[in-house]
Amino acid sequence: MFTLYMRSGSGSAAVEAVLAECGAAVELVDVPRKGQGFENYLTINPRGEVPSLRLPDNSLMTESAAMVIYLADLYPQARLAPTLDSPLRAAYLRWMLYFATAVYMADLRYFYPARHSVDSSAETGIKAKAEIDLNRDFDIFAKALGQGSYILGDVFSAADIYAAMLISWAPDIETVFARHSNIKKHYELVAARPKITPVWKSNSMLFS
Ligand SMILES: N[C@@H](CCC(=O)N[C@@H](CS)C(=O)NCC(=O)O)C(=O)O
């Protein structure tokens, strides 16, 4: 049994979706934003961030992308990751890390600008630059996606789940969809997967 320390609409959504696709047994523990429950959570993840994942052997993981990569490899029957010797493996890892480092971090700068400077007068600029970065990063993703259904062309993978989560946090998702019809199609394909629809719903990630 896994335990996922989570919060609806946060970075735990992709991990929850991957666990669902893998058919893994999981207990979801909602992490409060403040109070004693949050103070207690700091003993699990000293950064106070969600998600954290407790593994069946009782060890603990942080970092959502690491969890997604680990789980996809642990459940090969779910076919969420190209094997180590697959020619698609490099691109799969590239896009996982692209979304985890470039896009996720720009989202955090956009939504929490105050945490990115000791100078409160810098907040407006940090937020504005984060939005520029996000738009550039979505453009790069759209170009790579091209006419393909998924990041790896015809092959669905956990990177598509992770990417869709990051797309769902776009400051203005309707504009992203209007600019990039292929990102909209990609988002809809991921959201329509029977194991993912309920997870996206409980994370308020279903649009239209
Ligand atoms: N690199 C971490 C980032 C996790 C993260 O920043 N999570 C956000 C929610 S999406 C969070 O917990 N922020 C602190 C807060 O909301 O107070 C990961 O990928 O797991």
- pLDDT (tens digit per residue) in 63-119: 999 999 999 999 999 999 999 999 999 999 999 999 999 999 999 999 999 999 999
pLDDT computed for residue 104 by the predictor: 98
Residues framing ligand 1 (Cβ under 6 A) = 10-11, 48-51, 62-65, 100, 104, 108
Question: Which one of 3.40.50.300, 3.50.50.60, 1.20.1050.10, 3.90.230.10 gives the CATH number of domain 89-193?
Answer: 1.20.1050.10
By alpha-carbon position, which residue is closest to atom 5 of ligand 1? Answer: 49
0.85 exceeded by pTM? yes
pLDDT computed for residue 23 by the predictor: 98
pLDDT computed for residue 143 by the predictor: 98
pLDDT tens by residue, 137-155: 999 999 999 999 999 999 9
From the CA of 100, give the closest atom in ligand 1. Answer: 19
**Cα-based distances in Å from 202 to 16, 21, 187:** 10, 16, 16
pLDDT computed for residue 186 by the predictor: 98
pLDDT tens by residue, 30-73: 999 999 999 999 999 999 999 999 999 999 999 999 999 999 99
From the CA of 108, give the closest atom in ligand 1. Answer: 6
CATH of domain 2-78: 3.40.30.10
**Cα-based distances in Å from 31 to 4, 73, 163:** 10, 27, 23
In which residue are the tokens 């047994």 written? 25
| 87 Cα–ligand 1 center, Å | 32
Spatial strand order in the sheet of 52-54: 26-30, 2-6, 52-54, 60-62
Structure tokens given for 164? 């869709």
From the CA of 51, give the closest atom in ligand 1. Answer: 20
Q: What average pLDDT does this structure show over 176-199?
A: 98
- Say whether pLDDT at 208 is over 90: no
- Say whether pLDDT at 187 is over 80: yes
Residues of the chain with CATH 3.40.30.10: 2-78
pLDDT computed for residue 155 by the predictor: 97
The preferred substitution site among 5, 6, 10 for testing ligand 1, maximizing ligand atoms within 8 Å of CB, is 10
Residue 41, phi-psi category: left (phi > 0), alpha (psi -120 to 50), beta (remainder): alpha
Residues of the chain with CATH 1.20.1050.10: 89-193
Name the residue type at position 160: D
pLDDT computed for residue 107 by the predictor: 97
From the CA of 63, give the closest atom in ligand 1. Answer: 20
